Amino acid sequence: MSVLIGLLLSATGLLLSILSLTITTSVAGRLVLVIAGIVISLAGIIGFVNRAYVKNAIWRADR
């Protein structure tokens, strides 16, 4: 579930960046929206996708 949320967030970040093209015509406004999109995508990858895999990583297993 966490992986799915992470991938959705990653795609949502891209969507926000694309939407910046139509939400505003100002360069500064687009810059802010695109950076926000990148941050959302990175949060999805680092905060959800990777964390879900690290939780079950091989070095955490009892051996």
Partner 1 sequence: MRSLYRTAAILLAFTAASAAQSAPPVSPTKAPAPVAITDTDLKSVAPPKAEERAKGDPDGSLTGTAGDITVTDTRKGLTISDLVNQVGQNKIAINFAWTLLCGYLVMFMQLGFALLETGLCRAKNANHTMMMNVGVYGIGMFAYWVIGFAIQMGGVGGVANLGGIPTLSSEFAVNLFGKPFGLWGQTGMFLSQRGDYDVAVMVLFLFQMVFMDTGATIPTGAAAERWKFAGFALTSFLFAAFTYPLFANWAWGGGWLSTLGTNFGLGKGYVDFAGSGVVHAVGGLSALAIAIILGPRIGKFGRDGKPHAILAHDIVLVLTGCLILAFGWFGFNPGSTLGASGNGALRIGSIAVNTMLASATGMLAAMFYMWMVYGKPDASMTGNGFLAGLVAITAPSGFVNPICSAIIGMVAGVLVCVSVVFVERMLKVDDPVGAVSVHGTCGLWGVISVGLFADGKSNYGGAWNGVNGSVTGLFYGDASQLVAQLIGVATLIGFVFTLSFLFGMLVDVIVGQRTSAKSELEGLDLPEMGALAYPEFEIKVQSTH
Binding site residues, partner 1, CB under 8 A: 7, 10-15, 17-18, 20-22, 25, 27-28, 30-31, 34-35, 37-38, 41-42, 45-46, 49-50, 53-54, 57-60
Q: Which of 45, 58, 55, 37 is nearest to 4 (CA)?
A: 45
**Nearest distance in Å: CB 1, partner 1:** 14
Least distance from partner 1 to the Cβ atom of residue 18, Å: 7
The Cα 47–Cα 21 span in angstroms is 27
Closer to partner 1 by Cβ: residue 1 or 37: 37
